[in-house]
């Protein structure tokens, strides 16, 4: 009896109940169009900041799904530099961060170009610039080989491992990928959003690389979603939503890869996740709009580089209370300079001061009310 869908007769003839998906697909498409249209009506600066925030979350969260935590400042700075935006106070960026940023931007900025073996190999090489995953050396920029053994998705401690999925043998990968790429680049009668869902599942099932398959599968889905919207600009993050629903994501993948050629449940889950990602974009947009209102409200206040950097940090979500000591640490200046910077902003109504005195004194940004 067959165990995985790639072993079933007729693979990869995946199909789903189009009638069952009709309403949810139509609503999701409406939500996509509404968000893109809404963003087109906003000012240039707001759109740039919204896209920068979205892409930053996308890179951070697609890595978190795989258990890898990246430096958020490095990610944001790298994306800003690639987009030609003012990053402010760039710090050295790790090559691995640069690699996943380059892959993410190539997938979405180049959504209208064919997806080829060479392009996938370049993405994979960018993800693993050292040629290693952890301490283990892997084949980089090429399909996995038999030398790496069976490609399995495993959880559990040593001696208690649970195999959730085993991919096709390495000898099958070149042929499987040629078929996948021909389909992805070719004309199809299905809706492009459905194509994004199917591409994610199909690529993840082939699992053609020694590592990085999940991140690349999500980049391919984002590429197809950009095609569905005919725009490279990203204002919602599927990866951020998948990270929130990580348990369900892995569960539906496993059930589907153990199931039949009817992948309706996977398609339903993907469309639902996409809808929730778009909903979440409006929440993020509120924060971007609040930042824009704040900068507009203080545009007449001259600021030095340190003050600009720290205000930006506060607007992006600063954990804990801002004190003179923390300002000095973040701005890399003396406590006396930090106090002068802060007092200048308090005097001009940019910062408010807590009632506590002495070392317990903390500061916060003034609240700019929304426009009515």
SS3 153: strand
Together in a domain, 234 and 325 = no
Whether residue 371 lies inside any domain: the answer is no
Q: Which CATH number characterizes residue 340's domain?
A: 1.10.10.10
Q: Residue 114 has which token pair? A: 């064919």
Q: Which residues contact 313 (CB under 8 A, 6 or more apart)?
A: 330
Quote the pTM value.
0.83
Together in a domain, 285 and 310 = no
Catalogue the E-assigned strands of the chain.
132-133, 136-137, 152-155, 162-166, 351-353, 363-365
Residue pLDDT, tens place only, 87-110: 555 567 899 999 999 999 999 999
CA 113 from centroid of its chain's CA atoms? 20
pLDDT of residue 315: 83
Report the pLDDT averaged over residues 146-170. Answer: 83
Together in a domain, 86 and 124 = yes
Q: Which CATH number characterizes residue 73's domain?
A: 1.10.3290.10
Whether residue 370 lies inside any domain: the answer is no
Checking phi first, is residue 2 left (phi over 0); if not, alpha (psi -120 to 50) or beta? beta
Report the pLDDT averaged over residues 324-350. Answer: 92
The answer to whether the beta carbons of residues 255 and 268 sit under 8 Å apart is no
The answer to whether the beta carbons of residues 242 and 249 sit under 8 Å apart is yes
64: domain range? 5-290
Residue after which a domain boundary falls, among 238, 256, 290:
290
> Per-residue pLDDT for 31 more than 80?
yes
Whether residue 244 lies inside any domain: the answer is yes
Together in a domain, 23 and 115 = yes
Whether residue 372 lies inside any domain: the answer is no
Whether residue 86 lies inside any domain: the answer is yes
Residue after which a domain boundary falls, among 259, 290, 321:
290
pLDDT of residue 371: 53
Together in a domain, 316 and 284 = no
Together in a domain, 148 and 228 = yes
Together in a domain, 333 and 229 = no
What total number of domains does the chain contain?
2
The answer to whether the beta carbons of residues 107 and 219 sit under 8 Å apart is yes
Whether residue 297 lies inside any domain: the answer is no
- Report CA-CA distances (Å) from 257 to 7, 30, 32, 166, 198: 10, 30, 28, 9, 12
Residue after which a domain boundary falls, among 262, 290, 318:
290
Residue of higher predicted confidence among 320 and 251: 251
Together in a domain, 98 and 216 = yes
Q: Which residues contact 71 (CB under 8 A, 6 or more apart)?
A: 94, 97
Report the pLDDT averaged over residues 47-63. Answer: 93
Residue of higher predicted confidence among 40 and 144: 144
Together in a domain, 234 and 306 = no
Together in a domain, 84 and 221 = yes
Whether residue 40 lies inside any domain: the answer is yes
pLDDT of residue 359: 67
> Per-residue pLDDT for 184 more than 60?
yes
Together in a domain, 92 and 161 = yes
Together in a domain, 349 and 207 = no
Whether residue 296 lies inside any domain: the answer is no
Band of residue 291 on the pLDDT scale cut at 50, 70, 90: confident
The two most distant CA atoms of the chain are separated, in Å, by 76
């Amino acid at each position: 009896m067959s165990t995985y869908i790639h072993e079933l007769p007729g693979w990869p003839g995946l199909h789903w109940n189009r009638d069952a998906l009709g309403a949810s697909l139509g609503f999701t498409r409406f939500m996509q169009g509404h968000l893109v249209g809404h963003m087109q009506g906003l000012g240039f600066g707001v759109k740039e900041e919204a896209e920068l925030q979205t892409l930053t979350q996308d890179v951070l969260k697609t890595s978190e799904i795989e258990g890898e935590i990246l430096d958020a400042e490095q990610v944001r700075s790298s994306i800003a530099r690639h987009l030609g935006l003012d990053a402010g106070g760039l710090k050295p960026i790790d090559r691995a961060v640069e690699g996943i940023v380059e892959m993410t931007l190539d997938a979405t900025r180049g959504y209208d170009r064919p997806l080829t073996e060479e392009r996938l190999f370049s993405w994979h090489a960018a993800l693993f610039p050292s040629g290693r995953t952890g301490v283990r050396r892997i084949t980089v920029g090429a399909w996995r080989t038999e030398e790496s053994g069976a490609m399995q998705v495993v959880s559990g401690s040593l001696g208690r491992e649970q195999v959730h999925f085993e991919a096709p043998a390495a000898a099958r990968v070149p042929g499987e990928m040629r078929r996948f790429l021909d389909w992805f680049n070719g004309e199809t009668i299905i809706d492009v959003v459905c194509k994004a869902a199917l591409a994610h599942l199909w690529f993840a099932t082939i699992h053609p690389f020694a590592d990085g398959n999940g991140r690349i599968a999500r980049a391919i889905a984002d590429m197809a979603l950009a095609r569905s919207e005919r725009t490279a600009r990203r204002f919602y993050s599927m990866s951020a939503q998948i990270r929130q629903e990580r348990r369900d994501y892995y569960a539906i993948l496993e059930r589907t890869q153990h199931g039949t050629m009817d992948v309706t449940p996977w398609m339903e889950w993907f469309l639902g996740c996409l809808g929730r990602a778009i909903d979440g974009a409006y929440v993020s947009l509120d924060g971007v709009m609040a930042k824009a209102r704040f900068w507009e409200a203080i545009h007449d206040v001259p600021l030095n580089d340190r003050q600009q950097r720290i205000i930006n940090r506060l607007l992006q979500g600063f954990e804990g209370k801002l004190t003179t000591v923390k300002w000095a640490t973040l701005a890399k200046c003396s406590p006396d300079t930090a106090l002068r910077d802060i007092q200048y902003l308090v005097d001009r109504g940019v910062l408010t001061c807590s009632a506590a005195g002495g070392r317990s004194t903390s500061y916060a940004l003034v609240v700019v009310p929304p426009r009515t």
